[in-house]
Amino acid sequence: MLLAWLLIAPAAGGIVAWAIAPYGRQWARCVSLAAMLADLAIAITLWVAGGAVISIGPQGGWITQLWLPWIPSLGISFHLALDGLSLLMVLLTAILGVASVLISWRDINERVGFFHFNLLWSVAGALGVFLSLDLFLFFFMWELMLVPMYFLISIWGHENRTYAAIKFFIFTQASGLLMLVSILALVFVHHAATGVFTFDYFSLLGTPMSWWTSVWLMLGFFIAFIVKLPAFPFHVWLPDAHTEAPTAGSVILAGVLLKTGAYGLIRFVGPLFPDAAHWFAFVPMLLGVVGIIYGGFLAFAQTDFKRLVAYSSISHLGFVLLGIFAFNAIALQGAVMQMVAHGISTGALFMLVGVLQERLHTRDMREMGGLWQAMPRIGAITLFFVLASLGLPGLGNFVGEFLVLLGSWPVNLALTVVGACGLVISVIYSLAIMKRVFFGPRSGASVLADMGMRELTIMAPMIVILVLLGFYPQPLFDVLKPMLGGILQP
């Protein structure tokens, strides 16, 4: 039942926070924080139990599951299961969920209850995506996480929030519709071959189908997931959504919701359509490399700090796409490491942008400069996460990018070399952040508040996690190892 409680805690917490908000904003915040701390405690408990692997299907490495009948006549069940991949994503979601509640403690003062309702329900939907092994339930959770994020952007966002929210919703809903059509087509193809209606993941693995049927269905899933990742050229919704979202919304969007796209590629595209996915692999690898270079150049061209971080996400997630479709254990481990490290480092950078915007009332780096003397703690912590983002050895991001390049090298040398050039570009725009914001001539007010205890409390665990991932990534690899064979089997 722990898997069910992972979903119940944020969902119930969101409802209670909304209901209790009229009696005091602090009550809503405390309830929201308690719900996310409960999720984090459950996730840590599951991590401790991660060595107790059971076998519940064709793919190995499953730690626990929950199966309840839902609509038996249509083959739909409430089927949740946890393996190493989903465990890491659940942990990442819980950590960033707690951080998002804390970072919005003073930032959100209007409709506080409804804000926390949407924040927690978006988290609950993402957790459902990472745990669902019934494709109908997966689609339900996929849609569930999008609507609250739309409200977070459209109500508590910045100047162009309505435009950004509508753009986000159109892209994600169109991709979701494509995925629904592909799911239904796969179910009907399976029924035609076996006479059984089912949405169960394990039952649909190995469904007999013609070559071109597998190609078209694979493309439906693939496009739906890379829109959410997002990969070039489907990335155009991301900069606006990130720029206009409130800080907590940007953290959940970058650290969690984008990872659902990468998770879907790993969990569904390769295992459900192995031959078609391997045949098609060059295209996503090429898109990943294009995204690395393109996102890096656009990041360097930005003057809006938040928009720069948004474009850097496109570049860093290009490594994830490259690693997934290299289809070997080293590259896939690197892709998952990059997913985790990117979620932590980019989430922290968005929080730091929010901290600076709260004090300076601007995100324009041309209006900043010389802030290190006024805010040395913010400067030092920003430097750490900037160095993590550019892939400094000894931090988790370096391990992820290095393994992706190492694993993709024997698959496609040319794409690997071009992708490695993206590391140079990331150094340029990352160091440009420090120069523009914290060094150079001073501008603006001379008396500014440095980072307080609440903000330091949020940042400290994230720093520790990236250092641990950089110096001792083996526990992550140990958790992933049991599921690699099933995911990578052609």
Indicate the residue type of 305.
F
At 73 the pLDDT is 87
Burial grade of 216 (CB within 10 A; 0-12, 13-18, 19 or more): middle
347-354 average pLDDT score? 93
What percent of the chain lies above the pLDDT cut of 90? 63
Residue 412's nearest CA partner among 285, 308, 254 is 285
Q: 472-482: per-residue pLDDT in tens?
A: 999 999 888 88
Average pLDDT over the chain, rounded to whole?
A: 90
pLDDT value of residue 439: 84
- Is pLDDT at 447 greater than 70 in this prediction? no
pLDDT for residue 445 is more than 60: no
DSSP states of 210-271: -HHHHHHHHHHHHHHHHHHTT-TTS-THHHHHHHHS-HHHHHHIIIIIHHHHHHHIIIIIHH
Q: How many CB atoms lie within 10 A of CB 390?
A: 24
pLDDT band at 361 (very low <50, low <70, confident <90, very high): confident
Least confident of 58-67, 110-119, 294-303: 58-67
Query: Could you report the per-residue pLDDT of 133-189, keeping only the tens digit for each?
Result: 999 999 999 999 999 999 999 999 888 889 999 999 999 989 999 999 999 999 999
Instruction: Please give the pLDDT value at position 478.
Output: 87
Provide mean pLDDT across the span 404-413: 93
Mean pLDDT across 378-388:
92
